[in-house]
Amino acid sequence: MQSLSEIDTTSKRAAKAAGYSWGISEEIGKAIRSLELFGLPGISNLNLYFKKIKKKPPKKINKIEKKNKNKELCPIYCGVAFLDQCKKLEKLKTITFYKVNHPMLMLPFINKASDVLGKKILIKYNNSVFLMNFNKSIFSKNIEKKISTLANKITIDFLDNKNSFSEKEWKELYKLSEKIFVEESDSLKTKGAGAGLIDND
């Protein structure tokens, strides 16, 4: 079994050989490492995508709009641009991409954006749903067993931060936690403050 370090290094070198700059290649290495870490098929997607663009290199996308259309979009250039512009894009609430090759390759970049913004980001394409969780994890639902080579439509939603518990539950737990304040106070009184019970001066 290959280590994450090997996956990162080999993906980076392959990306450079496929025509990407060293800077982008380094990001690709980290991205594939992240996908494999979370149990998603990063290597398989990258390998197939590089075969696809061998004779026709993809075009860069410089500015992300609310709706992004082209004949076919590169998931890597889209992902890098999204990460670079995420603070501005957050204001749009929802962003849509059309006809993106191997869409899974976008996920690590959007997951990083989730960490930068401190917000969860929801992604939907081809009946699959992914929740980007501050670059700590990727929750997924209905992932197709067969690799998605093209997403006709990708919807990206910036989610507002909300507690997973009710205000009542929080107050009850906090009230219980307050008991430790009394215990700590009594403990300090017993041990004494300052010089303590024995003074060697």
Q: What is the pLDDT of residues 4-59, one digit of tens each?
A: 999 999 999 999 999 999 999 999 999 999 999 999 999 999 999 999 999 899 99
pLDDT per position as a tens digit, 48-99:
999 999 989 999 999 999 999 998 999 999 999 999 999 999 999 999 999 9
pTM (two decimals): 0.85
Assigned token pair, 183? 């215990």
Token digits for 59?
């075009």
Residues 6+ apart with CB under 8 A from 146: none
Does residue 87 contact residue 99 with C-beta atoms inside 8 Å? no
End-to-end CA separation in angstroms for the chain? 65
CA distances from 121 to 37, 54, 109, 174, 189 (A): 19, 32, 11, 29, 49
